[in-house]
Structure 1
């Protein structure tokens, strides 16, 4: 895993030291000697992570971090503050400024590399989500980044801790920002995290007869908890455990004795990031739905039909099962548009789709093929059964008039339907669809408002 790291420090020796460590891990390294140059680089160059000194002339590291996090173009870049300051208040201030982590000089090589790799891994995931959301919605991330991140809503934290005394201290520290459920049984906690809404899991490594990294590993293996933030609480000096935890995908750690303010700040950071990524994932899911759904009727669109029909056709061939397709077309739909207007036409299409949806079975797929044409794909359905379903659809369209909400006009709508089955000799899904289309054409030319099945 490689990435581009920006090292920001006004002391050349410090820059060279960090640069050498990162180059040894095959990272691409950029450098800046002051805050303004760092901001310019982040604004105009692709950067995966910033290692940022605090005490610099001009703009301090705290202000640089705040500016990066308040800029929609750079807010997603992880920032690790690297400084000689070692007071808890400094760490808290950095985290409140939006920093993703805080390392104290002299920086331990193992922790530096592990932190960088962990944060780069998280950024890679967020970047992929951001790109998909941007591409699909064709709208800047600015609106999404400015949207509420839920920081005013209490987080749901699951605390896995083997000691009642430390449970009480952590619950008390997090009370201002989170509802904490404390559990001492790691396996029960795993089930809880998988079954209920959780924003963060805090794992305290104080169990006498249980390896806490086992739980961290299981959280990353389960589909439901794979992206759930995990914060490890461990002893000072437990570098091997910390390094292994970060390699397993643990998002953050804090060492004992736990400073309540630092715990609070790290918790808020993880919850905020989790909710941000949740919004991105939701955006991607909505995008996928939009890509395969007809916006007017809510049915699947032709793009989805093309892919779905190939899958079910090949499955039917492999299993020697029947597969039927019907194409239906609204009779004289142009007359509706010409007489009542296109808004009325849209009403008719929506109502037609609603009746079509009520007719098909759970395993069937109803799609808007284009214009006033609709397709129903019916797996495990022979020609006779398909004709019955098509006739039921034709009847439900003809039997009840369409009432326009906009004008109150009552329209008598009918539909023509063409049906084809793979048992009629169709060798490809395209051929099957074409047979149904020919049957529809025959229904149209022979008087409309009827069902015609393709000849075997």
Structure 2
């Protein structure tokens, strides 16, 4: 796993030591001797993780971390503070500044590399989501960076898995000051609870009685509904080596007992902020996919989606020996609606038309805006007779009630013409089916409009 690590320290000997350790594990290492240089490198997206010293002359590590985490361009870069400072107040100050971890020198090679690898996996996953979501900006969707920077990390839903009453009561009390907390003392029920609860964070004790806490963490990572929920592991100091194993299998962060109240809250906020940010990225990706295949005005699928999906439906129909009906619908005299009442009225008609189409077809049918005032409906496992009845019902639905336009101040009569055909010849080209339906539509319009014309294969 290759990643670019930025080591920030004003002491050359410290830089060389960290550079040697990381290079031996095949990481690419960059260096900066002060905070200003580090911020510039991070803003140019030249690093994946920042290993940051605290005591530096021009700008201390706390301020560098704060600036990284409050800048929308760099807030997603993991920051690990590596320093000789070892007091709880220093640690908490670093975590409050947004650091993903705070390691005290001298740092064990095993601990350092395990943490870097864990954060590298996280960064690569986030980068993939960010890359996929870039196009969402081009189609007008809101980027999540600024909201992520402003997010306090409070108000999350946390599931605490711990079977020691004295432990979970104290932890739950601390966490309840900022979050909603559910406690699950039965580890065998925890995974089901986690899958059903829509949690922002799982906190798992690795010192459960008669149950392997790491196995629970691994199961949470393998289950679709909990795969992306961050996990904060808690262990006694003698079990610290198991925490390193936990980082390898997907644990996001950890704490050793006795637990400091401020540190627990800070680490929980960090994980919840990250969860919300990645969820927002995933939503952007999903929404951009939907927008790419959906007609913005009517909410129906667009022509691009129809052409792709129709080919699949036709292949399935041929393979299974089932009929497939297809109709092309055209709103009669639509140009005159735009010319007489304005394009806003035309848009009102198109939107209401889509609503009536949805009410007239089945859930398995595919309705698309083919272009302008033309629409296509594909009906799997439907013969010409049944499709004809559906088309006639839809025609009556359109003609039977005037369309409200201009916010309901006017109502206008609208009719449609429909060309209908079916795919019944095995292996027939989709283009031929569309052409036949279009020919039937032409006949409908030529014969006086407001009618359904069928053309058999």
TM-score > 0.5 by shorter chain: yes
The equivalent of 1:130 in structure 2 is 130
CA pair 299-139 structure 1, distance change in 2 beyond 3 A: closer
Give secondary structure in 1 for the equivalent of 2:328.
Answer: strand
Note the aligned Cα RMSD (angstroms). Answer: 1.8
Contact kept, 8 Å, 2:422 with 2:456, in 1: the verdict is no
C-alpha separation in 1, matches of 2:385 and 2:198:
48
The equivalent of 1:247 in structure 2 is 248
The equivalent of 1:434 in structure 2 is 435
1:215-364 paired onto structure 2 within 5 Å: 215-364=216-365
CA pair 246-407 structure 1, distance change in 2 beyond 3 A: closer
The equivalent of 1:104 in structure 2 is 104
C-alpha separation in 2, matches of 1:433 and 1:24:
62
The equivalent of 1:144 in structure 2 is 144
C-alpha separation in 1, matches of 2:426 and 2:449:
26
The equivalent of 1:410 in structure 2 is 411
The equivalent of 1:121 in structure 2 is 121
Give secondary structure in 2 for the equivalent of 1:294.
Answer: coil
CA pair 336-53 structure 1, distance change in 2 beyond 3 A: same
Q: CA deviation at 1:197?
A: 2.1
Q: CA deviation at 1:405?
A: 3.4
C-alpha separation in 2, matches of 1:209 and 1:409:
73
The equivalent of 1:380 in structure 2 is 381
The equivalent of 1:174 in structure 2 is 175
Contact kept, 8 Å, 2:136 with 2:142, in 1: the verdict is no
Q: CA deviation at 1:426?
A: 6.4
C-alpha separation in 2, matches of 1:81 and 1:166:
28
CA pair 411-129 structure 1, distance change in 2 beyond 3 A: same
Residue 365, structure 1, aligned to residue 366, structure 2: yes
C-alpha separation in 1, matches of 2:381 and 2:139:
42
C-alpha separation in 1, matches of 2:283 and 2:3:
27
Q: CA deviation at 1:136?
A: 2.1
Give secondary structure in 2 for the equivalent of 1:246.
Answer: helix
Q: CA deviation at 1:376?
A: 0.7
CA pair 354-426 structure 1, distance change in 2 beyond 3 A: farther
Contact kept, 8 Å, 2:136 with 2:288, in 1: the verdict is yes
Q: CA deviation at 1:235?
A: 2.2
C-alpha separation in 2, matches of 1:195 and 1:223:
12
Question: What TM-score do you get using the length of structure 1 for normalisation?
Answer: 0.96
Give secondary structure in 2 for the equivalent of 1:238.
Answer: helix
Q: CA deviation at 1:142?
A: 8.7
C-alpha separation in 2, matches of 1:76 and 1:7:
17
1:1-20 paired onto structure 2 within 5 Å: 1-20=1-20
Q: CA deviation at 1:153?
A: 4.5
Q: String of CA shifts for 1:234-291, please: whole Å, max 9, x gaps.
A: 1224343122101111100111121222111111111111111122222222222211
Contact kept, 8 Å, 1:329 with 1:416, in 2: the verdict is yes
CA pair 34-210 structure 1, distance change in 2 beyond 3 A: same
Aligned residues: 456
Q: CA deviation at 1:164?
A: 0.2
Q: CA deviation at 1:28?
A: 1.1
Question: What TM-score do you get using the length of structure 2 for normalisation?
Answer: 0.96
Q: CA deviation at 1:441?
A: 1.6
Contact kept, 8 Å, 2:163 with 2:185, in 1: the verdict is yes
Mark the runs of 5 or more structure 1 residues left unpaired by the alignment: none
CA pair 79-176 structure 1, distance change in 2 beyond 3 A: same
C-alpha separation in 2, matches of 1:272 and 1:56:
28
CA pair 139-450 structure 1, distance change in 2 beyond 3 A: closer
C-alpha separation in 1, matches of 2:136 and 2:298:
20
Give secondary structure in 1 for the equivalent of 2:326.
Answer: strand
C-alpha separation in 1, matches of 2:411 and 2:334:
14
Q: CA deviation at 1:409?
A: 3.1
Deviates more, 1:361-370 or 1:239-248: 239-248
The equivalent of 2:37 in structure 1 is 37
The equivalent of 1:71 in structure 2 is 71
CA pair 143-282 structure 1, distance change in 2 beyond 3 A: closer
Give secondary structure in 2 for the equivalent of 1:147.
Answer: helix
Q: CA deviation at 1:431?
A: 2.3
C-alpha separation in 2, matches of 1:153 and 1:173:
13
Contact kept, 8 Å, 1:417 with 1:440, in 2: the verdict is yes
